[in-house]
Amino acid sequence: MNRCMECRAGLASVAVLVSVLAGASAGGVLDQEQLLYNGGTSARTLPGYTVWQSFTAGLTGTLDTIEMGFFNDMSGDGVLRIYEGRGTHGALLQQLNVPVVGITQQGPTWNLWAVNAQVTAGLQYTFELTPNADTLPDPYGVCIGAYDPYTRGVFGINDPSGSYETEFDMVFRTRVAVPAPAGLAVLGLGGLVLRRRR
């Protein structure tokens, strides 16, 4: 009877552990973030104007969420692009249309976008937003932190004359879904432990 109860307790523990690992893998783990919000940039919707932020991945896996902070009232859309490397001249990994919403409030209005791009820990990547001039005001508000608070990347602006790095960083977060072989190994180990108790 005691052995049976031990087996059930062991199975429950393994099930909880696998559930946690699966949840981390499917939902994405917080990887990079810059939360200092002490300024804002009035980004333009004119032709050729975009804003971008580079970051260094801390995890290897699938970049599945990009979160970006905005300010002031707005409701529109834009094109989000993800590139390899620092800036917008690397290989394009993904391009998609995304909603862009802002609310006048004390903190940033977070926009969460589901993406799907493979990233490798230690390498730099860049996400770029091209605003839709038909739906967003000119200018529109992008939340930033002054004096380079995020040291593993940079905030940049593209305009018809070129691409420029700044001493600021966007208010942003990235999330990465990590592969789950470790979770399967733990499940196998739990099964061995349970067999030995019998």
The predicted structure's pLDDT at residue 179 = 87
Could you state, in chain order, the average pLDDT of each consecutive group of 10 residues for the chain (198 residues)? 49 35 59 97 96 98 98 97 98 98 96 98 98 98 97 98 97 94 52 48
Candidates 196, 183, 197, 198; CA nearest to 14 is 183
Q: Which amino acid is at 76?
A: G
Q: CA 123 to CA 13: how far, in whole Å?
A: 36
Question: How far is residue 147's CA from residue 141's CA, in Å, rounded to a whole number?
Answer: 18
DSSP sequence for the chain? -HHHHHHHHHHHHHHHHHHHHHHHHHH-EEEEEE---SEEEEE--STT-EEEEEEE-SS-EEEEEEEEEEESSEEEEEEEEEEESSSSSS-EEEEEEEEEEE--SSS-EEEEEEEEEEE-TT-EEEEEEEE-TTTS-SSEEEEEESS---TT--EEEEETTEEEE-S-EE-EEEEEEPP-HHHHHHHHHHHHHHHHH-
The position carrying tokens 């939340």 is 143
Q: What is the pTM of this model?
A: 0.79
The pLDDT assigned to 148 comes to 96
Contact criterion met (CB below 8 Å) for 174 and 62: no
CATH superfamily membership of 29-177: PHR domain (2.60.120.820)
Give me the residue spans of the domains in the chain.
1-28+179-198, 29-177
Rounded to whole angstroms, the Cα distance separating 142 from 42 reads 7
Return the number of other C-beta atoms located less than 10 Å from residue 57's C-beta.
21
